[in-house]
Amino acid sequence: MANHIPLVIATGNPGKINEIKELLAGFPVETKSLADFGPIPEVVEDGETFEENAYKKASFTAKILGIPALADDSGLVVEALGGAPGVLSARYAGENATDEQRVAKLLNEMKGHTNRNAAFECVLSIAVPSGPALTYEARCEGLIAEQPAGQNGFGYDPIFFYPPLNKTFGQMTIAEKGEVSHRGKALKELKQEMEKVLVWIRRHMPLEERFLYEQEQQDKNDRRFNQSK
């Protein structure tokens, strides 16, 4: 698309892709998914923090494909378990475990603990091929329920109880969860900053691409001026 900056969403999760595409609607961004490209090597998420993993995914994808990339890393942090499962949230019960198996393992680990405090944390990273990146972080605090409740969402949603709404994430509608969740908050912050983010991306684009983009912008402004005469 003319005048649009390409941005690849570095995830294979269709839900995340649609959520981010909807967020960026109305901005001069041409969103792409990994499915729009040929096979690329899988990123090894071996960072010790959500920020490290988010940056690693965004930076790796941007360098491989040669265009800006957006990635996120998120997970559940439980006080009584010393911050576990944390960055291992998706692999807490093994590489190929189901959501139900991860939930069962966590509830088993929580037996005997009266401290049920927990939080979902999310880090978004937008990187350009040359390396620099912008980071947005958010968290949502709640409690680990005694047993699963609700059929919505995914992962640990059925056991993450959110006191202000008196229900688990698994009992919330998509709209309700989007208003209070860790990822929803991070995406809102990104949306509020999007105009500045686009300026930052343009400044870090390769000189040839930046020239073409600025030329397209000037041509567009000239057409608008001529039409207003």
The sign of the dihedral angle between the CA atoms of 68, 70, 71, 72 is positive
Q: Which listed residue (73, 157, 219, 222) is catalytic?
A: 73
| Contact present, 148 and 167 (Cβ < 8 Å) | no
73 tagged catalytic: yes
The two beta strands, 69-78 and 133-144, are unpaired
Cα 217 from Cα 201, distance rounded (Å): 15
Concatenate the DSSP letters of all residues of 149-176 into one string. --SSSSTTGGGEEEGGGTEEGGGS-HHH
| Contact present, 108 and 93 (Cβ < 8 Å) | no
- Residues with a catalytic annotation lie at 73
